[in-house]
Chain A
Amino acid sequence: MRQVLGRTPYYVFATGLAILFLAPLVWTAVASVSPHGATAQKVGYGLGNYRTLFNWEAGLPTYLLNSARVTLLTVALTLVLSVLAGYAFARFRFPGRDVLFLLVIAILMVPYVTLLVPLWVLLGEVGLRNSLEGLALVLTLYQLPFSVFMMRISFEAVPRELDESAQVDGCGTFGVLRRILLHAVWPGIITVGLFAFLNAWNDFIAPLFLINDSDRFPLPLAIATQRVQTHGAIDYGVTEAGVVVMALPCLLLFIFLQRYYVRGFMSGALKG
């Protein structure tokens, strides 16, 4: 590309593109505190939109807490299931191992919505419909293909001699996992946790299908509902304040854990 473009055109083009990509993000942050007659922040710069959002219906803390609960449950469940399964698939031979691994990966081939309709019925049968716990179970399901795959290759990358020396020292298979391997696969665990966090925090369609009690809405569903339920003029300022609240944890995590994010990509890309 730089042979095609000269030095100056290269920088002009790339910078222009970068500005286009950053502009909407900067605009939201600015718009959420800017004065506008049609928003809760009428005169001067300030946090009026955030105050309105804070007090909307059940209140921002409730929705934040709902999101945090779903997200942490999903991350915890995903980690437990995928670490154990990754260990099993990487280190043990047992009947049906390859079929079971393929079954987990096959989740990817089934569209999200195809499962949401029957899951709505099933969760109703066991009393988990309209609950954050039921939602976390569904979100975990869609994390499993990536997470189990990721943990399996993480365990496989650890030399077997490490297990064997620990076994000689008297560790059982669980001791090997807990005392030795967990430390060795730490980067994989962070990658799996990060993806589970981002996907659970941001998911929209699963809560839309499964949660109908507005007090239990996670943040994205609450913000999306807020804008259509506000009577009279639509307050776009409050929506943008909500976008900032939702985006901040993602951007922070992304900036601090960029390395682990890219790691997840490489493994996924190599698979193809």
Chain B
Amino acid sequence: MSLVLEREHVTQAPPRPAARRPWWRSRAAKGALYASPAVLFVLAFFVLPLLLVGQISISEWPLLQGNQGINFPENYQNLTRNRLFWPAVGFTVKYTVVVVVLLLGLAMVMALLVQNRRRGVGFFRTAFFLPTALGLASASLLFWGFYSPSIGPLDPILQGLGITDEPIRWLGTPNMALFSTVALIVWKFAGFFMLILLVGLQSIPTEVYEAAKIDGATGWQTFARVTLPLLRPSIALCLIISVTGSLLAFDQFYILTQGGPDNSTTTVVMLIYREAFRRFDLGSAAALSVVVLVALLLINVAQFRFLRRGVE
């Protein structure tokens, strides 16, 4: 085989200059050809919708009748007139702060717990991480039964231990609904963030810890002065993912609380769904979508700036 090929090489005329080759047979053209399915896909399902959402947001666009012409800036003005808008923004921000603090705090504790190889660590890692394998909707449905007065196990346990006398309405009051949903999210995602922090922890060279030990640093000092600063990139990644995810919260509230009681747990994304499919106003839904997009971009730019400044 190779012998034949070698002969072909020999008999071939000196290599033709690349410029003579027609452009569509060039290596660059082939590369572009391999990239083209993905690129066309992204143009059709990403760039085009992005332009269209802008157009819908400045148009009167009832869900079923379709485009009725431009009405700018009516959709955007109506946003703030919606009596649910500011409460939804406020609730989403409050939820985000609570979730991010609890989630990343617990994830850090868990990552430190399972960071070193020792007996049982493999089991702990798997146990902490297993809820991550579930979908968010599955996990929400699971907790919907878990918190139910009918088959939920919490009330029997608490009453059996003599801690409470009456059933707790886990989703019945605004504060309890928030607390219960946060518990679900922490359960579902702590293992996910634990893993990111674990990858970061294991990239810290052991010499650094040894040096700290020689200098006589206590456990806490080592953590605060050595581990935390070196873990900064991983923490930044966790922060950006968890903030973005929480600001866009939908599944868990749609399934667990339906935004209630009294719309107290309605998030911004739920408002988009509500505008589009309950009030059949695609224009307002698109305007709100654009606002969410811009807000999220600004928040992420601010986070990047803040986190980067800290590194320098």
Cβ contact of A115, chosen from B50, B123, B300, cutoff 8 A: B50
A31 near B145: Cβ-Cβ < 8 Å = yes
Q: Which of A140-156 contact B (CB under 8 A)?
A: 140-141, 144, 148
Return the contact of B34 from the options A87, A170, A234 (Cβ within 8 A).
Answer: A87
Provide the bound-state CA to CA distance between A17 and B191, in Å.
12
Nearest Cβ distance between residue B17 and chain A, in whole angstroms? Answer: 18
A24 to B132, CA, bound (A): 13
- Of all chain A residues, which has the CB nearest B292? A111
Q: Which residues of B contact A208 (CB under 8 A)?
A: 254, 273
Across-interface contacts of B18 in A (CB, < 8 A): none
Asked whether B31 lies within 8 Å of A18 as measured between CB atoms, the reply is: no
Contacts of A118 in B (CB 8 A): 48-50, 52-53, 56, 286
B124-146 toward A: CB 8 Å interface, digit per residue (1/0)? Answer: 10011011011111100111111
Closest-by-CB residue of B relative to A265 is B195
Q: Cα distance A1–B113 when bound, in Å?
A: 6
CA distance A84 to B201 in the complex (A): 34
In the complex, which of the residues A1, A120, A203 contacts B135, with contact meaning CB atoms closer than 8 Å?
A203
Answer yes or no: A121 CB below 8 A from chain B CBs: yes
Q: Is the CB of B35 within 8 A of A223?
A: no
- Point out the residues of chain A lying under 8 angstroms from B2, CB to CB: 169
Residues of A close to B289: CB separation below 8 A: 111, 113-114, 117
Q: Are A117 and B285 in contact (CB under 8 A)?
A: yes
Is there contact, CB below 8 Å, between A220 and B137?
A: yes
Contacts of B12 on A, CB cut-off 8 Å? none
- A63 within 8 Å of B (CB atoms): no
Assess A21 versus B130: contact at CB under 8 Å? Given A36-B150, A94-B28, A224-B141: yes
What's the minimum C-beta distance from B147 to chain A, rounded to whole angstroms? 10
- Tell me if A112 is interfacial: C-beta within 8 Å of chain B: yes
Asked whether, in the complex, the Cβ of B250 is within 8 Å of the Cβ of A100, the reply is: no
Q: Is B46's beta carbon under 8 Å from chain A?
A: yes
B179 in the interface (beta carbon within 8 A): no
Q: Does B276 contact A (CB under 8 A)?
A: yes
Cross-chain contact B38 with A84 (CB below 8 angstroms): yes
Partner of A243, one of B110, B113, B138, B233: B138
> Counting CB contacts under 8 A, is B171 at the interface?
no
For B56, B113, B133, the residue with the greatest tally of chain A CB atoms inside 10 Å of its CB is B133
Is B20 in the interface zone, CB < 8 Å from A?
Answer: no
Q: Are B282 and A121 in contact (CB under 8 A)?
A: yes
| B interface majority secondary structure | helix
A141 touches B46 (CB 8 A): yes
Task: Give chain B residues whose Cβ lies under 8 Å from the Cβ of A96.
Answer: 32
List residues of chain B with CB within 8 A of the CB of A185.
none
A-B contacts at CB below 8 angstroms, number: 282
A119 on interface, CB distance cutoff 8 Å: yes
Render A198-237 as a binary contact track against B, CB cut-off 8 A, 1 for contact: 1001111100110000000000110110010000001011
Contact with B42, one of A93, A107, A109, A202 (Cβ below 8 angstroms): A107
List the A side residues contacting B53 at CB < 8 Å.
114-115, 117-118
Distance (whole angstroms) from the CB of B167 to the closest CB of chain A = 14
Interface flag for B196 (CB, 8 Å): yes
> What 1/0 mask marks residues of chain A from 32 to 59 whose CB sits below 8 Å from any chain B CB?
0010101100000000000000000000
With A25-B130, A265-B196 already in contact, the answer to whether A201 and B120 are too (CB < 8 A) is: no
Binary contact readout A239-259 vs B (1 if CB under 8 angstroms, 0 otherwise): 110110011001101100000
Cα separation A84 to B47 with both chains bound (whole Å): 20
Docked CA distance A123–B48 (Å): 12
For the complex, is B39 an interface residue (Cβ under 8 Å from A)? yes
Nearest chain A CB to B274 CB, angstrom units? 12
Report whether B136 and A204 are in contact in the complex, using a CB–CB cutoff of 8 Å.
yes
Q: Specify which chain A residues have a CB less than 8 angstroms from the CB of B45 in the assembled complex.
A: 115, 119, 122, 137-138, 141
| B255 CB–A CB distance under 8 Å | yes
Which of B130, B151, B195 sits near A237, CB closer than 8 Å? Answer: B151
Question: Does the CB pair A110–B50 fall under 8 Å?
Answer: yes
Asked if residues A24 and B143 are in contact (CB atoms below 8 Å), the reply is: yes
Q: Does A178 contact B (CB under 8 A)?
A: no
The interface of chain B, by Cβ under 8 A from chain A, is 1-2, 5, 27-35, 37-39, 41-42, 45-50, 52-53, 56, 66, 109-110, 112-116, 118, 120, 123-124, 127-128, 130-131, 133-138, 141-146, 148, 150-151, 153, 187, 190-191, 195-196, 199-200, 219-220, 233-234, 236-237, 240, 248, 250-251, 254-255, 269, 272-273, 276-277, 282, 285-286, 289-290, 292-293, 296-297, 300
Chain A to chain B: the 4 pairs with minimum beta-carbon distance, closest first:
A92-B31, A202-B135, A272-B237, A88-B35
The chain A residues found within 8 Å of chain B, CB to CB, are 1-4, 10-11, 13-15, 17-18, 20-22, 24-25, 27-28, 31, 34, 36, 38-39, 80-82, 84-85, 87-89, 91-97, 100, 103-104, 107, 109-115, 117-122, 137-138, 140-141, 144, 148, 168-170, 173, 198, 201-205, 208-209, 220-221, 223-224, 227, 234, 236-237, 239-240, 242-243, 246-247, 250-251, 253-254, 262, 265-266, 269-270, 272
A28-B142, A88-B32, A117-B282 are known contacts; what are 11 more A-B pairs with Cβ within 8 Å? A27-B153, A84-B35, A84-B37, A96-B32, A115-B50, A141-B42, A144-B41, A240-B141, A243-B141, A251-B133, A265-B196
